[in-house]
Amino acid sequence: MGGGVPFIRQSAPRKTRMTGENYFAPCNFMPEEDSVPAPYDLNPRFNDYAHPERLVSTEWLAEHLDYPGLRILECNEDGLLYDIGHVPGALRLDWRKDLFDPNIRDFINGQHFASLMRHLGIRQNDTIVLYGDKSNWWAAYALWVFSLFGHADVRLLDGGRDAWFLEERPTSFAVRTYPESDYPIVERHDDNRRVYRQDVLAALGSSLIIDARSRDEYVGNTLSPHLSSAVSRRGHIPTAFNIPWNRAVGPDSRFLPRTTLEDIYDGVCSPDDERDVITYCTMGEQASHTWFVLTYLLGCDCAYNYDGSWSEWGTAVRMPIVQGTAPGSVPFPLPLSARH
């Protein structure tokens, strides 16, 4: 990673084929009454990862499309992609409309999450496979949000939408419907996966902070086009190291082998290092991708996502920033909100 961080390693355009479904008509699928999680993908490509059960391959998904205890969700940055073809049986998950409460500008609560799951026909024991565009940016983000509500079996399609279409696997326009489920209300628990701005501020100097944005954004040369005009400050959070999210994937959007990932994230997540690891980006989506890599592929059990990211930090009054290639140091004195 550079910058003096010690080496630390944690053990432990193609034409697509359409299905024979009636593309524009709803497709009703009646699952079995009992919800049985789908079997794990035993693809040897995943063997070295810390938690291979969190991934499925395109081969596995193609073979389990009609598995009764499986629900497939497509979550994209571009909301129109679903309408021009998707994995057969996949349902649309809109990260803006489905996961956020606009009144409080935060994630939905347990009651709204249960309502969403019931509407999608997802039961508490179902296996959920998420995939999307941008090498699974928003799919990883949705998986992270689902983890806040404790859904036990949520997996990513390795390679996402890119890999599925590149291999010319079956696609459909049909919108499958399921009977409404009885998903229980489970309150959201942020403590073990999420941090807020004041947490990051208080952690400067004691936690390892990873900026998952591009190098130009980190240095302060540019801002993400996704940010509103209200965000005018450029740079990065003091002490943060820059490891862009896309270094973890290959040209086909699939995750790189574990040994390669360990070299990329050299200095992160050691059993001999008690520091927490905090990831951030522009709005939390790229940081969720990095959080997934650290948590499930490298086995880091102390990784947190700062989903407020630069969209919050870059607009907040008195929040310190650093410009340039160096991580920077802890500012002193800290703003009042970080003092105890």
- Tell me the C-alpha distance between 265 and 259, whole Å: 10
**Are the C-beta atoms of residues 211 and 234 closer than 8 Å to each other?**
no
- Return the structure tokens found at 64: 């389990």
Q: Give the residue numbers marked as catalytic.
A: 281
**Are the C-beta atoms of residues 195 and 284 closer than 8 Å to each other?**
no
Contacts of 90 by beta carbon, 8 Å cutoff, 6+ apart: 72, 73, 74, 82, 131, 176
- Tell me the C-alpha distance between 294 and 279, whole Å: 10
Where do runs of H (alpha helix) occur along the chain? 58-63, 95-99, 110-120, 137-148, 160-166, 197-203, 215-219, 258-264, 285-292, 309-313
Parallel, antiparallel or unpaired: strands 176-177 and 241-242: unpaired
For the chain, list the strands marked E by DSSP. 27-28, 55-56, 70-74, 91-92, 100-101, 106-107, 127-131, 154-157, 176-177, 208-211, 241-242, 277-280, 303-305
**Which residue, 304, 260, 296, is CA-closest to 280?**
304
Q: 171 - beta bridge partners?
A: 18
Parallel, antiparallel or unpaired: strands 127-131 and 70-74: parallel
Q: Please identify which residue in the block is written with the tokens 């499986």.
A: 70
- Return the structure tokens found at 181: 């489920």
**Which residue, 134, 303, 305, is CA-closest to 226?**
134
Parallel, antiparallel or unpaired: strands 176-177 and 277-280: unpaired
- Tell me the C-alpha distance between 334 and 326, whole Å: 19
